[in-house]
Chain A
Amino acid sequence: MPRVLLIEDDLAVQKGVTLALKRRGHAVEVAGSGETGLLALERHRPDLVLLDLMLPGMSGLEVCRRIRESKQIPIIIMSARGDDIDMVVGLEVGADDYIVKPASDEVLEARIKAVLRRVAPAQDGSAQAAPAQPGAERHGALTVDRTALIVTRDGAELALAPSELKLLLFLSAAPGQVYSRQQLLEQVWEHSFYGDARLVDACVMRLRAKIENDPRAPVYVMTVRGFGYRFGPLA
């Protein structure tokens, strides 16, 4: 039973979302402000945070940044369309996905499920069917352990957010293979073809900041101009 922390100030939305998620088998903890949300995070140790961006007092963006300083817990931000800038900034400071309000409970549930999945669904099945990769693969200075879901760089474990880890696992499974943003959205985020490509771009930027020596001259996650991204290949 996944524990969800909902940080949202509007009482009606609190009630509606809680009702919907409880019906679908989640345990929901509600915080009415950013400050109480950060406290609840310590107390309840949720599996996922649903974060409204428009909060009184400490802004949703600030809450998101604070959480990421210490935790790689999945974060989904909720925002109204039109508050595009906040949404992009939210993705840059570490949110894994976003939901546009108003959203139906089906959409809420689908996004939560996708974010909670540790690896991309396409690789999920194959990994179980053929656990033929014992130990870790090495890619230059990076070591990717697909079973323990641990990535190290020069021996040091990297703190990757769930979407970052999933993206890296997906890309590094087929070095040199080029994926379009739409493909990545469908495979990693489980969005439709028409998902927001900025999700991918923001996640790539965050990932590069963590795994590359020089994020502006990446060697692991390469941009294929006009098409998408590929992993390596490393010489």
Chain B
Amino acid sequence: MTFRRPFRLRLPRGLRVRLVAAFLFAAAFGALLTAGLTFQQARSAILDRTQEAAVADLRAQLDSLAPGLPFPPSTQGLRDLALQLDRAGGAHTWHSAAAYQDGPLVSAAPTAPPVPQTLRETTQDGAAAAYQRIEHEGRPWLVLAMPVSYAGASASASGDSGAMSRAPSGLTVYAALPLDEDEADIAALRTAAQAGAVPALALALVPALFAARRVLRPVRRLHGGAERITAGELDTRLDAEGHDELADLTRTFNTMATALQRDDAELRRMEASARRFAADVAHELRTPLAAMTAVTGVLDEDADSGALPPDTADAVRLISDETRTLARMVEDLMEVSRFDARTAPLRAEDVDLRTLVSKTLRLRGWDAGEHVTVDLAGPVPVHADPRRVDVILANLVGNALRHGSPPVTVRVRAEGERAVLTVTDHGPGIPAHAVSHVFDRFYKADTARARSEGSGLGLALAHENALLHDGTLTAANAPGAGAVFTLTLALATPPARESR
């Protein structure tokens, strides 16, 4: 996770986040369902209890008050009954009212208790007690309706089981009691359910993270394994524990790594044997070449002596020249295989690059005449293998003389921390398609062109030698025309410091 990323609102997509979210969602669903059901059950239990208690109380009061009521009751009689009921409410602060048959509700208080019409209709014909929960003036109410019936001589509440023969008296008593307290209980219950659900969710986070970790650990191991494979550690194998899908994936990963390693080893073996073959061929060619090369001088001498027929002299000269070319090719091939086998030694010493340029040009007779000009300025100290720098220089200048046009300019400068040497010619330049290939082995920019006198490995060797010095060798075209080859090497000591 990086914090450098510009802040953006987006859905987190990490596997861990998704796992935890899913886990929490499941936990929240469970907690809510449980809390909801519990709440519902507790709520109805509380209300039922309140209701049953109220019904029982009302019936008891009626049982004691109703017999004293004259029949048919007058409005005043009903009001007295309601008043008595209100007073006898005891624990229940109910508002009672009474009605005879279809008569109006008569209550003790100036305002009648809220009795819904539906409840009155329910109890009109039936003898059973009924109740209804209503909302009135923003408060919850329980409204009870209890018809009074006669049972034999005495009147009794009709809530009794119908064992006795009953006769409805037409008198119905209503009692409305507020459920504020119960509502408070229920609210407390709701709060408790909520208070329980939130910690439950928080607690669920712990197993969620743990489960995510369990799932993610093999995923992370696979990630690390894949990265190691990418980095080239093909012997990477992962422990596959268990029998789940991730363990299967891990085992497949291991199989893949084994296959990769096998193929890689096979390819390496084939490449090594191909290179060894080239080296062996070159090595085997050297002994006959040693014999042939030893007599090239003899052949040249006789070809030039005039004693041979002209055709024979030409043939002898041809063999002598091509023997030298062959010897150089075999030497270059040997050198290339040393680079391939990484056995090319670097015998570096402190020298001035300008000295090497002068020596190389003089050694090959390029310092006389107009073909090669040098542009040397201040000291350019390098720590380099003189013989390898000579190979680079000789190949660059030789290539410029063969493929470019004179004058070839060799320029040496110390620029910053680098020693920079450029070889510029005035020829047509390197064809665009060839620029990136000039350092390839046996690369010919112009396939139609006849074989040049080089081995075809010269620039490749120059490049390898530059790399061996931790230097660079690049090819480009000059703005005007002509190819520019640029060699850079690390400066041994910056000239500014040396001059102090």
Contact = CB atoms under 8 A, between A and B. Distances in A.
Contacts of A80: 283, 286
B295 A103 contact: no
Contact of B297 (A12, A81, A102, A105): A105
Interface in B281-296: 283, 286-296
B363 A192 contact: yes
B347 A19 contact: no
B363 A16 contact: no
B334 A81 contact: yes
A73 interface: no
A193 B363 contact: yes
Nearest to B388: A194
B324 interface: yes
A108 interface: yes
A105 B298 CA distance: 8
A194 B363 contact: yes
Given A12-B288, A84-B345, A102-B327, A20 B359 contact: no
A103 B390 CA distance: 19
A142 B364 CA distance: 41
A12 B284 CA distance: 14
A131 to B, nearest CB: 33
B386 to A, nearest CB: 6
B125 interface: no
Contacts of A102: 286, 289-294, 327, 330
A20 B283 contact: no
Interface in A55-109: 80-82, 84, 101-106, 108-109
A106 B297 contact: yes
Interface residues of B, number: 31
B291 A194 contact: no
Interface string A192-208: 11101110000000000
Number of chain A interface residues as a range: 20 to 34
B352 to A, nearest CB: 11
Contacts of A109: 297
B345 A105 contact: no
Contact of A13 (B291, B301, B338): B291
Contacts, number: 89
B402 interface: no
Contacts of B298: 19-20, 23, 105
Name which of A101, A102, A197, A227 has the most chain B CB atoms within 10 A of its CB: A102
A145 B483 CA distance: 57
A226 interface: yes
A194 B362 CA distance: 12
Contact of A20 (B294, B345, B386, B387): B294
Interface string B269-313: 000000000000001001111111111111001000000000000
Interface string A98-122: 0001111110110000000000000
B57 interface: no
A17 interface: yes
B227 interface: no
A12 B287 contact: yes
B331 interface: yes
A182 interface: yes
Contacts of A198: 347
A137 interface: no
B295 A19 contact: yes
A17 B359 CA distance: 30
A226 B493 CA distance: 14
Given A16-B291, A82-B334, A104 B297 contact: yes
A193 B293 contact: no
Interface in B314-337: 324, 327, 330-331, 334
B266 interface: no
B233 interface: no
A104 B347 contact: no
A15 B338 contact: no
A43 to B, nearest CB: 25
Contact of A12 (B291, B347, B350): B291
A105 B289 CA distance: 12
Contacts of A82: 283, 334, 338
A10 B297 CA distance: 20
A106 B334 CA distance: 22
A70 B494 CA distance: 52
A105 B386 contact: no
Interface of A: 10, 12-13, 15-17, 19-20, 23, 80-82, 84, 101-106, 108-109, 181-182, 192-194, 196-198, 226-227
Closest 10 CB pairs of A and B: A12-B291, A16-B291, A16-B294, A105-B297, A102-B293, A102-B290, A193-B359, A101-B290, A102-B289, A13-B291
12 contacts: A13-B291, A16-B294, A19-B294, A19-B295, A20-B295, A81-B334, A82-B334, A84-B345, A102-B289, A102-B294, A104-B297, A104-B324
Interface of B: 283, 286-298, 301, 324, 327, 330-331, 334, 338, 345, 347, 349-350, 359-360, 363, 386-387, 390
